[in-house]
Amino acid sequence: MVQDGIDLASLDKFIDDVKQELIDARHHSAVDRLRTKVFGNQGVIRLAMKGLASLPLDERPSVGRVINDIKNELERLIADRSEEIDSLEFTKKLGPEPIEFSIGGYDSPGTLHPITQIQRKIEEAFGRIGFTEARGTEIETEWFCFDALNTPKNHPARDEMDTFFLPEDTVVSSASKYLTERYLLRSHTSTVQIRTMLKEKPPLKIIAPGRTFRRDTVDATHSANFHQCEGLYVAEGVTVCDLKAVLNFLLHTLFGDDIKFRLRPSFFPFTEPSFEVDMMSKNLGTLSNQWIEILGCGMVDPEVFNAVGYDSTKFSGFAFGVGLERVAMLLQGIDDVRMFYQNDLRFLNQFS
């Protein structure tokens, strides 16, 4: 149908062409060109609107509505294409493989690593009896790892802990006596006792879980990288009775009610007296009903208090250190420590 000044048939054709060009448009510049062609000063919509004036009065409203509908539709199509191009460009930026965000994950939602599970259990339980969590650093100086823990140079106890020293050129010389020594990967979490006591005044009750390192040859029961949790309680009048009560709490938390434990005299440079704790349980598979060494502990040696400036005549305290791999192995009947570090889902899924 040809109207005076407006040819609706060619307008239809024009619109079909614009739709096709929009589909072909790959860049915003192409969409912009079309936008001008449709809505610009010389654009088809404006010309059609102008053409309305030359129509008989009674036809103007209906033709006007048609033009208006076309205008709205084209506006929407142009905006949609513009958005599509935005997302195409974003996908291009992400790289050659478009990411499918809606794709499902693995069947299993994932679980905490068995070592993390033990650590969380200890943290949660000790939180309930007023212990806070302290953290140290995995790279330490000899002073924190040994000297301050009453293990001076050439002390035979250092041999057992022979560990990973960093190259000599990492030694930082500074005014602080703590920083002029060699750096090493900490061989135990007992370093955190020192770090915490230097920062805080007694009374204090902390646990310090974390990663530790020793130059052990890796086999089924040794790993050069393992985890410990340290405990430290310092106040006035702390005794071995308090130590026993807290060990009782720890072991029941980890192994359930059906256990016995005993303190066996031992030696650690930083505790006096020192003990190994043995425990026995009916529920430990092949290790049931026999004494199993589970952790080390003792009363903080006055020399340690002297190193951190605590008054050893006023305060006393206990400390303990437990190996988390050891606990997990006993609890779950795992006979090879290497399983913890291999990321084998067949192993890890058993702890979900």
Cα 243–276–191 angle (5° rounding)? 75
Exactly one of 131, 268, 315, 340 binds ligand DAH (CB under 6 A); that residue is 268
- Compute the radius of gyration of the chain from its Cα atoms: 37
Closest CA to 185 of 135, 231, 147, 139: 139
Cβ contacts of 81 within 8 Å, gap of 6 or more: 22, 23, 25, 31
Q: Which amino acid is at 223?
A: S
Least distance (Å) from ligand DAH to the CB of residue 328? 17
Residue of closest CB approach to ligand DAH:
321
Residue 55 or residue 224: which is nearer to ligand DAH going by CB?
Answer: 224
Residues 314-343, mask of contacts with ligand DAH (x by CB under 6 A): -----xxx----------------------
Q: In terms of DSSP bridges, do strands 132-133 and 204-213 run parallel, antiparallel, or are they unpaired? A: parallel
Residues 6+ apart with CB under 8 A from 68: none
> Residues 179-198: x/- map of binding to ligand DAH (CB under 6 A)?
---------x-x--------
What's the chain's length in residues? 352
Minimum distance from residue 198 beta carbon to ligand DAH (Å): 16
How far apart CA 194 and CA 190 sit, in angstroms, is: 7
Binding-site string for ligand DAH from residue 38 to residue 77, where x marks contact by CB under 6 A and - marks none? ----------------------------------------
192, 238, 277, 297: residue in contact with ligand DAH (rule CB under 6 A): 297
Looking only at residues 193 through 232 of this chain, which bind ligand DAH when binding is defined by CB under 6 A? 230
Chain residues that interact with ligand DAH, rule: CB under 6 A: 188, 190, 230, 268, 271, 296-298, 319-321
